[in-house]
Amino acid sequence: MESELLAAVLVGGLALVTATLGAIGGLGGAVLLVPMLVLLGWSPLEAAPIGIAMSAAGALAAVPRQTLTGLTNYRLGVSLEIAASFAAAAGALLSILLPVAAVQYALGGSAVIASMAGGLRRGQRNQPVEGARMEDLGDRPGRLASAYPDQSGRVIPYEIARFRTGMGLIGGAGLLAGLTGASGGFIKTPVMSEVMRVPVKVAAATTMFMIAITAAVTIAVYTSQGRITAAIAPAVIGGLLGGRIGAAVQPRLPATLVRRLLSVSLLVIGIVLVVRA
């Protein structure tokens, strides 16, 4: 009984920390939590449902607050999530068939590449338009481009580039999310930021919105496979708290700091996954 309580506290504490970092950087947190659980003795098949449930809880907690900040691009998120959701369902169905080491190598390599893509760029790509309002530069019917306010309230417009390429890569993120329970946020955010040229804060917030949908699809498949355990409960509680904390902190941080935090986290994740494979 005591060991079960300690395990629940450990899972809840790790979920709180990783969900906070996930909401700040748009990772979803599970890409940090799942490797930690594996290192602590959980099997990958047990850790995946815990990670994806925590990501869902963190996303549900973070999205309402991020909606108020004007960072989330819902049109872009829904468009990309079409590919991610179908791929996530396929990945979840395949997850019990593929070698664990192969999946970990793929995750580790993707994390390192994404880290380099975000870490090598310097400065802020999109600049504010002085005197502009969100009503002037924000969402328009039929367009994915939009704008967002920075920490000082200035409006920063942005365009979407290479949509088809981005959708294909986001589909790959969904596949990995289903295979590993890692939510795919650690790929979705860099793809939107570096491939599709979406501002990193917008990419992170939009990813959190998308993660909630990807996670719902993946959990449904895991449930049909009988892989849901009691350890999900503390992970959900930690995810809810961490998601709220991360969403509150994110708008106050400079975009360059968010990108660097994301890159460092991804590099550490990639190294751990490759070493453990």
For residues 139 and 128, give the distance between their C-alpha atoms in angstroms, rounded to a whole number: 16
Tell me the sheet residues that pair with 129.
Answer: 155
The three-state secondary structure class of 148 is: strand
Residue 65 confidence class, pLDDT cut points 50, 70, 90: confident
Task: Give the pLDDT confidence score for residue 126 in this predicted structure.
Answer: 62
Q: What does the block give as tokens for 74? A: 């819902």
Q: What is the mean pLDDT of the chain?
A: 80
* Tokens of residue 265, six digits: 């986290």
pTM (2 d.p.)? 0.77
Positive or negative torsion for Cα 251, 253, 259, 262: negative
Over range 12-38, report the average pLDDT: 82
Q: How many CB atoms lie within 10 A of CB 86?
A: 15
Helix/strand/coil for 149: strand
Spatial distance between the Cα atoms of 230 and 100, rounded to a whole number of angstroms: 23
- pLDDT, one tens digit per residue, over 97-114 is 878 777 777 767 767 776
End-to-end, the C-alpha distance of the chain in Å comes to 32
